[in-house]
C-alpha cells in the first residue's frame, strides 16, 4: 500500500487495508503473511517486535478459508 510508517511510535498501531483474493483460488485454508516491505525489492525490510516471524521477516497474524460457492 502507500501507507508510510514514518512517525510511528511504540505502542499499538491499527491499520485497515483491502486485499483482493484471486477468483480462481482453490478451496482450502490459507495463511496470510504480512510484512513491512521495501518497495524497491518487495522483501520485508523491518523486523517487528513480536513473536512468530519467519527468518525472512514475514508474520502470519491470520488464516482464511476459501470454500466452494
- Contact status, residue 51 vs residue 59, Cβ threshold 8 Å: no
Span 21-30, pLDDT tens digits:
888 889 999 9
How many other C-beta atoms can be found within 10 angstroms of the C-beta atom of residue 28?
Answer: 9
pTM more than 0.75: no
Distance (Å, whole) CA 57 – CA 53: 6
- Regions of the chain with pLDDT less than 50: none
- Closest listed residue to residue 34, CA positions, set 52, 13, 10: 52
- Grid coordinates standing for 16? 485497515
Amino acid at each position: 500500500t502507500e501507507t508510510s510508517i514514518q512517525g510511528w511510535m511504540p505502542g499499538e498501531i491499527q491499520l485497515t487495508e483491502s486485499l483482493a483474493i484471486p477468483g480462481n483460488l482453490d478451496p482450502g485454508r490459507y495463511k496470510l503473511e504480512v510484512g513491512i516491505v521495501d518497495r524497491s525489492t518487495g522483501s520485508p525490510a523491518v523486523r517487528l517486535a513480536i513473536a512468530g516471524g519467519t527468518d525472512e521477516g514475514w508474520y502470519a497474524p491470520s488464516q482464511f478459508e476459501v470454500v466452494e460457492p
